[in-house]
Amino acid sequence: GENVEQHPSTLSVQEGDSAVIKCTYSDSASNYFPWYKQELGKRPQLIIDIRSNVGEKKDQRIAVTLNKTAKHFSLHITETQPEDSAVYFCAATYGQNFVFGPGTRLSVLP
């Protein structure tokens, strides 16, 4: 089955710096890769996604890159702010559903 790995498990950055979270997946048939942000005690929220026919997508301070050959995709957050502190989950399609990565706890230090 699909296996999604995510690194690092925790990440601390200074406010204003960039943060990068990387995920790898195993199923070459996966074709859609969403990223979710979950603040403490709240629901996961879709923040950006990318489909397999695109190599990069950007939305303001957030960007995602995809390398289908290497089966990895990454989330890039620039100019980090304290409100970016949360747990971030990557996911990859597997059949009719998603498999989530184990999550990255991002802390943005003021």
Partner 1 sequence: DTEVTQTPKHLVMGMTNKKSLKCEQHMGHRAMYWYKQKAKKPPELMFVYSYEKLSINESVPSRFSPECPNSSLLNLHLHALQPEDSALYLCASSLHGGTGDYGYTFGSGTRLTVV
Residues at the contact surface with partner 1, assessed by CB under 8 A: 31-32, 34, 36, 42-46, 49, 51, 87, 89, 93-98, 100-103
CB atoms within 10 A of CB 58: 12
Between 16 and 102, name the residue whose CB sits nearer to partner 1.
102
Q: Residues of 26-41 as b/e, b for ≥16 C-beta within 10 angstroms?
A: ebeebeebbbbbeeee
Least separation in angstroms between residue 55's CB and partner 1 is 17
Of 36 and 84, the one with the shorter C-beta distance to partner 1 is: 36
